[in-house]
Amino acid sequence: MNIILVTGASARARTLTLGWRHGLGGSFALLMLLVVFAMLINYVALKWATATQHSWLSAIVLADQREEAQRTQERLQGHLNAMAIRLGELQARMMRLDGVGERLATIAGLKPQELSALLSRANPGTGGAISSQPSHTLSVDEFTALIDRLAGQVEARSDQLGVLETLLVQDAANRKFLPTRLPIVDSWFSSNFGYRIDPFTGQNAFHEGVDFPAEAGTPIIAAASGKVVFADVHPEYGKLVEIEHGNGLVTRYAHASLLLVRPGDLVMAGQRIASVGSTGRSTGPHLHFEIRLKGVAQNPARFLDNARIRHVLAKR
């Protein structure tokens, strides 16, 4: 494009040549001018609306604010829904932990009220010096991360308690087959395991069990769970009951007056199996109690001491 300029005084002509670059620059300048003009008009309109409180302008502003608030509310509701799901998972895991805790308390011999008392005292006080680092309000992402971390810790503790429960149940099952119960309640040893003077020969002889003095007819109970392998009259032991507890462990209950079980019977720890008497090689009513491991006599006191201690503590 050529533009010719002519002045009247000198009648001289000047020519200006405009290329595409000049056109592009002019268009850009015009566009920027329109943008600045629109922003100025918008600013003036908003200021005027604020100053005059015009109803329709206020309605436009309020509608925009409501739309933004709605979007914000939807985002917050989405975060709350996600947190509610995580909270539900944590509650389910806590219920699982409560159930495991109750089962562990039962295995440990704690009553429900004793477990509640222990838990009520398990909330330690907290405190500490004021930190030199500035504190800040948790963001939604930080709070979500904390919940996820807590959920992971709860899951790990749940797995650990599950393993502990399995071990305790196995240990409790094994203890049922160990002869730790006193075969005569509220009794004592009148003759210990080891060498003693034989009451019939007067010679020093090895006593392979312990004697519990008791009146005739006093109940004899199984020291542990097991299977009856012998229940009959023995030439020296008199009326005798033998119970096998597994792994070669056998208990003997001798000199009974009455047998209440038969070979092949399965008995539970604490079950009555016979009555005290003085049959066989005996000088008076009492229970001769033996524990044998693979045929070798063991000192019953090693097994029964814990039972006697528990019995004494229970009576206090």
Angle at 185 between CA 183 and CA 191, to 5 degrees: 65
pLDDT score of 45 more than 90: no
Q: Is there a single domain that holds both residue 305 and residue 267? A: yes
- Classify residue 60 as exposed, middle or buried by CB count within 10 Å of its CB (0-12, 13-18, 19+): middle
CATH code for the domain of 205: 2.70.70.10
Higher pLDDT, 59 or 232: 232
Rounded CA separation 25/20 (Å): 9
Consecutive H or E run containing 80: helix 55-108
Q: Is there a single domain that holds both residue 207 and residue 265? A: yes
What's the confidence (pLDDT) of residue 286? 93
Position 75 in a domain: yes
pLDDT score of 158 more than 80: no
Q: Which residues, 6+ apart, have CB-to-CB distance to 277 below 8 Å?
A: 216, 217, 238, 239, 255, 256, 257, 258, 285
pTM here is 0.49
Q: β-strands 266-267, 249-259: how paired?
A: unpaired
Higher pLDDT, 8 or 227: 227
pLDDT score of 140 more than 90: no
Q: Is there a single domain that holds both residue 44 and residue 67? A: no
Q: Is there a single domain that holds both residue 154 and residue 244? A: no
pLDDT score of 116 more than 70: no
Q: Supply the mean pLDDT for the chain.
A: 77
Q: Is there a single domain that holds both residue 204 and residue 101? A: no
As for how many domains the chain has, the answer is 3
What's the confidence (pLDDT) of residue 306? 55
Higher pLDDT, 128 or 286: 286
Q: Is there a single domain that holds both residue 233 and residue 296? A: yes
Position 310 in a domain: yes
| Nearest CA-CA partner of 178 in 50, 301, 269 | 269
Instruction: List, for residues 166-192, the tens digit of each pLDDT value.
Output: 656 556 656 677 888 899 988 777 888
pLDDT score of 279 more than 80: yes
154, 93 contact by CB (below 8 A): yes
Q: Is there a single domain that holds both residue 35 and residue 148? A: no
Higher pLDDT, 93 or 113: 93
What's the confidence (pLDDT) of residue 312? 38
pLDDT score of 65 more than 80: no
**Domain boundaries, position 13:** 2-51
CA 148 to chain centre: 18
Position 255 in a domain: yes
Q: β-strands 286-293, 226-234: how paired?
A: unpaired
Q: Is there a single domain that holds both residue 102 and residue 169? A: yes
Q: pLDDT-derived band of residue 315, with 50, 70 and 90 as boundaries?
A: very low
Instruction: List, for residues 296-309, the tens digit of each pLDDT value.
Output: 888 888 888 655 54
CA 179 to chain centre: 31
Q: Is there a single domain that holds both residue 301 and residue 232? A: yes
What's the confidence (pLDDT) of residue 113? 60
Q: Is there a single domain that holds both residue 31 and residue 75? A: no
Q: Is there a single domain that holds both residue 289 and residue 199? A: yes
Higher pLDDT, 141 or 31: 31
Q: How far apart are the first and last CA of the chain?
A: 118
Instruction: List, for residues 222-236, the tens digit of each pLDDT value.
Output: 999 999 999 999 999
Q: Is there a single domain that holds both residue 153 and residue 251? A: no
pLDDT score of 283 more than 50: yes
